[in-house]
């Protein structure tokens, strides 16, 4: 079974440009999470989808970030316009909805560099 996939693996853009990250969760996983890790810091929660609905977006830094999950399958995270402090590794994770203790399976991450 394929794991969580993310595209692109790396992205280098200039300040002010737009970037869209994509995440394909494990098939059948209704929970989808976005995280970001800035170098040397914690893996920080950004937001959580249950199917196509945003369950919790309390970690989104500001309104330059827009996440979508149309149809409840893959998700995109758009940063527009990008700023220097947006640099970091963006992880996506997915898990099953049913059950009490559900392992979150991570994707390989997208390394975003804003110059």
103 is a contact residue toward another protein (CB under 8 A): yes
**20-59: contacts with another protein (CB under 8 A):** 31, 33, 35, 40-45, 48, 50, 55-56, 58
Q: Helix, strand or coil for residue 82?
A: coil
* Nearest CA among 46, 31, 49, 33 for reference residue 95: 31
Smallest gap from residue 86 Cβ to another protein (A):
19
14/56 with CB nearer another protein: 56
70 is a contact residue toward another protein (CB under 8 A): no
Smallest gap from residue 56 Cβ to another protein (A):
6
3/16 with CB nearer another protein: 3
Smallest gap from residue 85 Cβ to another protein (A):
18
Rounded Cα distance between 6 and 25, Å, is 9
| Distances from the Cα of 99 to the Cα of 3, 13, 30, angstroms | 20, 40, 12
Rounded Cα distance between 62 and 50, Å, is 21
């Amino acid at each position: 079974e394929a794991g969580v996939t993310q595209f692109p693996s790396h992205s280098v853009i200039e300040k002010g440009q737009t970037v869209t990250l994509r995440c394909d969760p494990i098939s059948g996983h209704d929970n989808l999470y976005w995280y970001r890790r800035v170098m040397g810091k914690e893996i920080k929660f950004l937001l959580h989808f249950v199917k196509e609905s945003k369950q919790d977006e309390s970690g989104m830094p500001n309104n330059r970030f827009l996440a979508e999950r149309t149809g409840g399958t893959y998700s995109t995270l758009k940063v527009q316009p990008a700023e220097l402090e947006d640099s970091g590794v963006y992880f996506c994770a997915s898990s099953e909805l049913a059950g009490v203790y559900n392992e979150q399976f991570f994707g390989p991450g997208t390394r975003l560099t804003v110059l």
